[in-house]
Chain A
Amino acid sequence: MTHEELKALLPLAALNRLDSEEMAALREHLASCHECPAELREFENAVAMMALAVDAPTSADRIAQKLEARLAAVAPVIAKAATDRPASRVAEPSRRDSSRRIATRLSIAAAIVFAIYGAAVTSRLSNLQSAYDARANQLAYLQNRFTTLEHDAQMAEQKIDALSKVLSERVRLEDVLDAPDLEVTRLGPLPAAPGARAVVIASKSSNSAVLRATGLETPPSGKTYELWWITKQKGPVPAGTFTAESGNEVIAKVDPPPVGDRVMLTAVTLEPAGGVPKPTGAMYLKGAPERE
């Protein structure tokens, strides 16, 4: 990498956002460049200063108190010297030397005790840290697993909703099939839907009708399929709209034939969404009622 390319890495290096390869290349460069180390330090200072842009309720005094507590715990003489300094100024020279020797011995003793204790504490802290890390990893894994299971549950609910809808449509079909006076009309395909088939079953006694269709493609956006009873007296009478999904059968409740009129033909056309009072679009299916 050229000097300019490496120099361009300095801001991200200050943010600790370089990958390991970039960092290694930059470190090597910094060892021999006179310009980049100072610039990196300036970026690091700018990054460090960002903490000052944060308003927080923390207290520098309380932080200082915590430090004093630690200093007092590990080196009592150091802490005591900070507060006793004015008194030591007026002590006799010989007494001051003696105090200093005692203080030095005590501080050495404290340092030895601290070193031994510190090593044991460090080891224990290291073990605790490892245990914490393991628990944190375990928790992260469980949280991920929970999220996955939650997602799976949502997908399952959606499937249940879809199946419930299909089931209710089938129940509707069976209700009509149970009626004693069924009129069946089979619809065959037209050039617009060569693979489509449909059957409409109607019952005057239950005043209900159901359509079952297969082979219809998903209608274009803004369009819907509409069923028509084409009668002798009134001509085309709308019987309801329905949609389809390519590859799936459709079961839809439709309006029964008008009372007091004779149905000559039954048809399905493609119409604007919401349906229309008279057919305007291409015919996809047609058929005549099966007369006894």
Chain B
Amino acid sequence: MAKATENITSDRELVAAMANGDADALRALSARYAHMLGALAYRFVKDESDAEEIAADALWQAWREAASFDPARSSVSAWLVMLGRSRAIDRFRAARARRPPENPQPEPAPVADALSELETAERAKIVKQAVGELETRERELLELAYFSDLSQTEIADKVGLPLGTVKTRMRTALIKLRDALRRLR
């Protein structure tokens, strides 16, 4: 499987190409991250169609804003996730009704290439293993931090821990997750 460092370099090149109007670069980026963005959005909206719409919105926003992406500030994956998560939270809050299809569907696009699918599946397996190594409370805090729009204080109230403890355990949990991902790759 391609290593994360190779992907990071390739991802930046794709975004740079998107900034030059290369739609194939967008298609390649979509092949890598559509599944992840869809899964992320689904955690918030719990609706398949809405989640796919949100993922497409995030990738479309990346296409439109590719020229303003600063690789010094963020990785491509973190940038995409930030776009997707922000849209998912907005949708979750507004609870917008499902849109009916407006236009006839175009010809089906080629299936995401087999290598990207394989890479995604392998990465998913590694991440699940790394997340599985966390303690239950650590996993719960990370999921609340990531998959909810609750403030830190609201999370502390929900889990019944002091705010300072919540922050410390979140920090510890993410360090453990990062270390596990380093080890398992």
Chain A contact residues, CB within 8 Å of chain B: 8, 11-12, 14-17, 37, 41-73, 75, 78-79, 82-83, 132, 136
Contacts and interface: CB of A to CB of B under 8 A. Distances in A.
Contacts of A79: 23, 106
B52 A58 contact: yes
Nearest to B82: A16
A57 B78 contact: no
Contact of B56 (A46, A47, A57, A66): A66
18 contacts: A11-B171, A45-B4, A45-B75, A45-B78, A48-B78, A53-B127, A54-B147, A56-B48, A57-B48, A58-B38, A60-B31, A63-B30, A63-B37, A63-B59, A64-B34, A69-B103, A79-B106, A136-B93
Contacts of A75: 23
Contacts of A65: 105-106, 108-109
A69 B78 contact: no
A53 B124 contact: yes
Given A53-B131, A60-B30, A82-B23, A72 B106 contact: yes
A69 B30 CA distance: 14
Looking at chain A's contact residues, is the secondary structure mostly helix, strand, loop, or mixed?
A: helix
B175 interface: yes
Contact of B75 (A48, A66, A68): A48
A56 B51 contact: yes
Contacts of A63: 30, 34, 37-38, 52, 55-56, 59
A68 B109 contact: yes
Interface string B56-83: 1001100100000000101101101110
A47 B36 contact: no
B38 A12 contact: no
Contacts of A52: 35-36, 39, 120, 123-124, 127-128
Interface string B149-185: 0001000000000000001001100110110010000
A47 B30 contact: no
Interface in B81-126: 81-82, 84, 93-94, 96, 103, 105-109, 111-112, 117, 120, 123-124
B109 A64 contact: yes
A8 B175 CA distance: 10
B78 A47 contact: yes
Contact of B52 (A12, A43, A62, A78): A62
A67 B35 contact: no
A67 B177 contact: no
B6 to A, nearest CB: 13
B151 to A, nearest CB: 9
Nearest to A16: B82
A16 to B, nearest CB: 8
A71 B109 CA distance: 12
Contacts of B181: 45-46, 49
B19 interface: no
Contacts of B94: 132, 136
B34 to A, nearest CB: 4
Given A58-B42, A64-B34, A79-B23, 19 more contacts: A48-B78, A48-B80, A49-B123, A52-B124, A52-B127, A54-B39, A54-B147, A56-B39, A58-B39, A59-B48, A59-B52, A60-B34, A60-B120, A61-B111, A63-B56, A64-B27, A69-B106, A72-B106, A82-B23
A54 B84 CA distance: 14
A216 B70 CA distance: 76
A82 B26 CA distance: 12
Contacts of B107: 83
Contacts of A78: 21, 23
Contacts of B145: 15, 17
A44 B75 contact: yes
Contacts of B75: 41, 44-45, 48
Interface in B1-51: 4, 8, 21, 23-24, 26-27, 30-31, 34-43, 48, 51
A118 to B, nearest CB: 9
A46 B23 contact: no
B35 A58 contact: yes
B1 to A, nearest CB: 13
A16 B147 CA distance: 12
Contact of A11 (B30, B43, B53, B170): B170
A208 B6 CA distance: 92
Contacts of B36: 48, 51-52
